[in-house]
Amino acid sequence: MQTIKGPSLHLAQFSDATAPFNSLPAIAEWAAHTGFKALQIPAWDERLFDVGLAAESQTYCDDIKGGLAEHGLVISELTTHIFGQLVAVHPAYDSMCDNFAPVALRGNPQARTAWALEKLEQSARASSRLGLTEMGTFSGSFAWPYLFPFPQRPDGLIEAAFEELARRWLPILDACDEQGVNLCYEIHPSEDLHDGASFERFYELVGEHARCNILFDPSHFVLQQLNYLDYLDIYKDRIRMFHVKDAEFNPTGRQGIYGGYTSWIERAGRFRSLGDGQVDFKAIFSRLAQNDYAGWAALEWECCLKDQEDGAREGAEFINRHIINVTTKIFDDFAGAAVDRSQINAMLGIA
């Protein structure tokens, strides 16, 4: 067993145009003061990080690490969710996803995807230069609009979607392998990899690639009504990143998991700050420790009610309370005694 590292803070929801959230040095000082030991950096956010430069310059990477070290911080992982989202975009989401790409590429899905694949490859090289071994991402989606099978899905539709998804991701998985980096897909509604069954389908199509792994976020399983503790045991060999995020699911006579197109504040399933939702984090941290999870516990703040700075401060304290400093002893060792084979045979009645 290993003691989980943490708390880390995912910066995607905190980066902003105003201080102290508008630069990495400023946000690092604030995060350290708030109680975090590491930062999870979104590789797409140019206000905080230049992924193209990091892919080429060891000096830049060393300067980034040195600046964080001045505040007692390290980088836990890079995340590449926006790049991953652009690897596979269904036409229904084309206009919305255009906003994730440079202006010159908008309206050109092929160029947009090529750019995203290049950025993912750069992120793998940047991770290696930073001494990181895990990188988070989204899978993107071709098939999500066809989630509910009515009208009946034509034969071959889902198979074709996943075959193309695997074809696009295989070169990135290979690039990650060259850099010694595990690519961890966040299992997330709206992505084609949204539960265990969809991950398994993809994993098989990429040849059970050693770098194809999982970012575990239990909040998305509460909203899907999926047993996240079973999930931890089923995929314990593939889970290499952990977003600590809470959620609640309170179905009514008017809505359930689909939410009735209502806003987040009105949905039956909604994200909450740590400790305010229904996720059994005591059981999760226990299961991760038991399963020898070697990575970080990273707070991802997404709450429709609580202020983000309150959520961050309380979240750091929450994670610290839940991390289990694993024991190196067996509790009943005091009652043990050395027994030789002849004594064992006698205990069992073996001649």
150-161 pLDDT per residue, tens: 999 999 999 999
The structural domains of the chain, with segments of one domain joined by +, span 5-348
Q: Are 32 and 72 in contact (CB under 8 A)?
A: yes
**Please, what sign has the CA dihedral across residues 260, 244, 290, 335?**
negative
Residue 331 has pLDDT above 70, yes or no: no
Tell me the pLDDT of the chain averaged across its residues.
Answer: 95
- Residue 91 banded pLDDT, cuts 50, 70, 90: very high
Residue 183 has pLDDT above 60, yes or no: yes
317 C-beta neighbours (distance < 10 Å), count: 15
Q: Are 323 and 3 in contact (CB under 8 A)?
A: yes
SS3 199: helix
Residue 332 has pLDDT above 70, yes or no: no
Spatial separation of the C-alpha atoms in residues 146 and 153, rounded to whole Å: 7
User: What predicted TM-score, i.e. pTM, was given to this entire model?
Assistant: 0.94
Q: Which long-range contacts (CB under 8 A, 24 or more apart) does 177-181 make?
A: 177/209, 177/210, 177/211, 178/124, 179/124, 179/125, 179/127, 179/128, 180/128, 180/133, 181/124, 181/127, 181/128, 181/132, 181/133, 181/134, 181/135, 181/211
What backbone phi and psi angles, to 5 degrees, belong to 128? -60, -45
Per-residue pLDDT reduced to its tens digit, 256-291:
999 999 999 999 999 999 999 999 999 999 999 999
Q: Are 187 and 195 in contact (CB under 8 A)?
A: yes
**Please, what sign has the CA dihedral across residues 48, 51, 53, 56?**
positive
Which of 61-70, 171-180, 336-345 bottoms out in mean pLDDT, i.e. has the lowest? 336-345
Residue 68 has pLDDT above 70, yes or no: yes
Class of domain 5-348: alpha beta
Q: Which of 187, 183, 157 is nearest to 170 (CA)?
A: 183
- Residue 344 banded pLDDT, cuts 50, 70, 90: confident
Spatial separation of the C-alpha atoms in residues 349 and 233, rounded to whole Å: 38
Looking at residues 22-42, what average pLDDT do you find? 97
Angle at the Cα of 77 from the Cα atoms of 74 and 78, rounded to 5 degrees: 120
Which of 18-32, 65-79, 329-343 bottoms out in mean pLDDT, i.e. has the lowest? 329-343
Question: Using only C-alpha atoms, what is the Rg of the chain?
Answer: 22
Query: In this predicted model, which residue has the larger pLDDT, 157 or 2?
Result: 157
pLDDT for the residue 168 = 98
Which of 309-313, 333-337, 347-351 bottoms out in mean pLDDT, i.e. has the lowest? 333-337
Q: Are strands 239-244 and 212-216 parallel, antiparallel or unpaired?
A: parallel
pLDDT for the residue 164 = 98
Looking at residues 8-15, what average pLDDT do you find? 96
Q: Are 123 and 130 in contact (CB under 8 A)?
A: no
**Please, what sign has the CA dihedral across residues 177, 182, 183, 189?**
positive
Angle at the Cα of 204 from the Cα atoms of 200 and 210, rounded to 5 degrees: 95
Helix (H) or strand (E) holding 98: helix 94-98
SS3 333: helix
**Please, what sign has the CA dihedral across residues 322, 316, 28, 54?**
positive
Residue 1 has pLDDT above 90, yes or no: no
